[in-house]
Chains A and B, each alone.
Chain A
Amino acid sequence: MRITIKKLTVQYTEDDHSLLALDRVNLTLAPGRITALVGESGSGKTTLGKAIMGLLPDNAKVKGEIFLDQDNLLAFDEARMTPIRWAKAAMVFQNGAANLNPVHRLKHQVAEPLIQRGTPKKQALELAETRLKAMGLARELADRYPHELSGGQVQRGLLAMGLILDPPLLILDEPTAALDAVTKSFVADVIQQCRAQNKSILLITHDLDLAGALADDIAVLYLGQVMEHLPGRDLLEHPAHPYTLALARAFPTMDAVRDLGGIRGDAFYRMVHAHAADNGHTHVHTHVAAPDAFHQGGHAPPEGCLFQPRCTQAIPACSLGSVAMEITPEGDHRVRCLRGGIAQALHFEQVTKSYGKITALYPTDLTLMAGEVFCLVGETGSGKTTLAMIAAGAVSPDQGTRFFQGRDMDLWMKKDAAALASRIGIIYQNPAESVSHRLTVFEIVAEPLRIHNTVRDESALADRVKAALSDVHLSCAPEFLKRYPHELNMGAIQRVCLARALVHEPDLLVADEPTSALDPSVQAKVLKMLLTLQIEKGVTLLFVTHNIGLARKVADRIGVMSGGRIIETGPAARIINHPAHEYTRTLIRSAQGLIRPRAPVSSSV
């Protein structure tokens, strides 16, 4: 059975406003295919499932079409929907046991749809018991009441109940949430069996592992809009939309090595409400706002890309007009992104650099995607700093071309060097040497703003400086602003440098061994702060370090350098778990070798 959803819009009416839960969603469910719906909570996933079943609450206003083969379900009334439910489309709801009636035995609830459709009671109960047994629930468990079953047993029971009438369409809402790994893999097996039986399956989940492993197609939902349609296998490896990437980065997979990164900002609700306009008419508009304070500030633009306020690669055009779904160049994804998907922040083609007779960098290609953390790892003298400084625009390459945000950096530099420089921030290895000793803290942080003349008003400048300092958890007290670097410890100076690098809100931050001069506890703090700010500001980070252990905790992707060449690039998890190059293996081995387990110190008194 084929389900075709066309321009499905669902709006929940509250007292004086509405919530837009789904916004012109198109989706097709085909027999023998698992279609997954992923997204944060509140993105409208469950609403879509309930809309197919015709089970939306009374305050839901539904537009669009849901075709079950040739029938438009949205035109059906309750009396015509009743025979379709469970026989043609069944749904396993989320939150387990709450979906079972506490006062009826499990097997009676499983058999109930059969009995209501005319199967003799005895026969129906026998079939229910057989089905429950196939789900791993013995007769004794089938006889129990819901409160006498464990979470895993309930989920198995709900699956048996959903499949009792052998429906051609199965909707599963978070079928594995709160399940242990064993039950989860059992549920995954059942879902795959359903696919083999040629059922159409809609899998609603926030478990990206499950979606990636099972789904043939995936729709990524954000605030009721589909942001990306992609093949299941690409979800974790090759997402095309920045939101999909951000979701993948936030998800704890077994082989993730870096610390989990969140997505900056919050997903708000989409409010539709009427305002009195100046001319006395009321006009109705939609905007994105926090649920508790939707009348106060923080109105995101009603127009433009919904994800734009949280996106790491937004350009001014992103907040204008509506964004349509476009097919990616590869042809297998469709993304709703003005920039055609995740953009390149930086792109090098055959870039070289030599100092006299010494070749610091052989012809090198390198690409940094917007919003990612890329680590350059290698021993001293491998060309890391040269490459980083070329990326920062501080050093010019001998040959090759550099592109920053899609523009040729050298041409850009000739035309407007200041504009380019204002988009790039740098942090150097040695904090004490990278600040002028004749400037106060305030002057150090204010300097980039003065140079680029971004803020003319002195009090606005002070505000920017204070905001930058509080971002890095430094004091904004007048006494502190008047201090000189020699009065501060190393950690504080490096934080001042971080504030300086971020004060003009750059798109790219180049950090060259930013923590190697710090002792471990200060390093841990500064790194945490750097990574938090990277997510909050949505800045692309090029992180240079000789410490692969550090890179492992920080990077989305790692590039390993040796002798002026990048010898290996890839996702951090792959580089660390399955290094391809011998040198990388040596690097990892020696990093591990440093921390040899010592013989326990005997504590004889």
Chain B
Amino acid sequence: MCEFVIPGAQNTTVLVVGATSSIGRIVVRKLMLRGYTVKALVRNADQEVVEMLPRSVEIVTGDVGDPATLYAAVQGCNKIIYCATARSTISGDLYRVDQRGVYNLTKAFQDYNNKMAQLRAGKSSKSKLTLVKFKTPESVDGWEVRQGTYFQDVVASKYDGGMDAKFEFTFTGDAVFSGYVFTRGGYVELSKKLSLPLGRTLDRYEGLVLSVGGNGRSYILILEAGPSADTSQSKLYFSRFNTKAGFCRVRVPFSSFRPVKPDDPPLDPFLVHTLTLRFEPRRQKAVEGRTGVQQQDPRSFTLILEYIKALPTGQETDFVLVSCTGSGIEPNRREQVLKAKRAGEESLRKSGLGYTIIRPGPLKEEPGGQRALIFDQGNRISQGISCADVADICVKALHDSTARNKSFDVCYEYVADQGKELYELVAHLPDKANNYLTPALSALEKNT
């Protein structure tokens, strides 16, 4: 009967960051109408700000750029909606709010989750599971370096440069996998049977995150899955990932793994028992290295491994981030803005929290629910959107399992001039009576 009743709203505390922004203001009101407990993070709680917010909102003073102030903000929170953005396009501001701010908040939130879980003598269901951590010389034990070829090249074998690889713990404290493959169709790989902590299975996780550093090659991650008693029945699944020159964290969702034999069923993370990291000289891109550095031979590689962790799975999104598509920003600053926003998005994806990243078109200050919306991925949208519609998506996404771990663009439906319509668009009209979000998002790619 009542369109504002949301099951679970009573027991949910939402932290709204940027509660005084054009979207945040409406988000706060919408949450209050639906019976959520709302905390608002503001930079200074002066009279003007306090009057702008409903009185039952708990106001926390803090700054996303200052991690120390965030621990009070995340106390008791179940979910976060981040609609803050830098007030200027100065790089320093952008870095502090849009990039570092998101990272700081995800970290504070995860720390809080872990602390709460420890109080209950358990592990947070949102915390990542460390599969391997290369910190000690012993940690490289048990990893097996192998080499092989995809095909036998009779002609070229005469000129075969050979291949070699090693995995060692250096005196600087890094576990380094390095080598070269000059043989055509050759590859080298690093493999180990996984030993999960007692009572842990990978089916409660939805992907892997690797912290690696190196010279920017791409690698193939191979998971061997099957009954661990009989390895002959194991099936192989692979997924390719790219690294950057320098250190980076790579997210590899289980859903991105494809069976080596196309007929095999999709990967069941529960059955995974062996992890393999393979390097092959095929399909290596030239690294966008610093200018002046001599171009390296793409057939050689160095990879410093720091850790491999599993990302937890879940039903709902924990962190809704309002990003942007880049249209509507003044062209000469667009690069910088987008760079900071993308970096912020990236740190959220790697955090292990369930995330929803909304990239609205240019914002308009007008009432929502008037025009049909287009949900899309791939930066193809052209229209604006009202702040109220973005706020509605934020609030709806909190309890929508189809919104978890998705990034999407959203804007108004493009309305062609009379008589110039090319085709009919299938769009979603936002209305409180119908749930437009689920059907709209279920068509979109996950883990984006």
A binds B: no
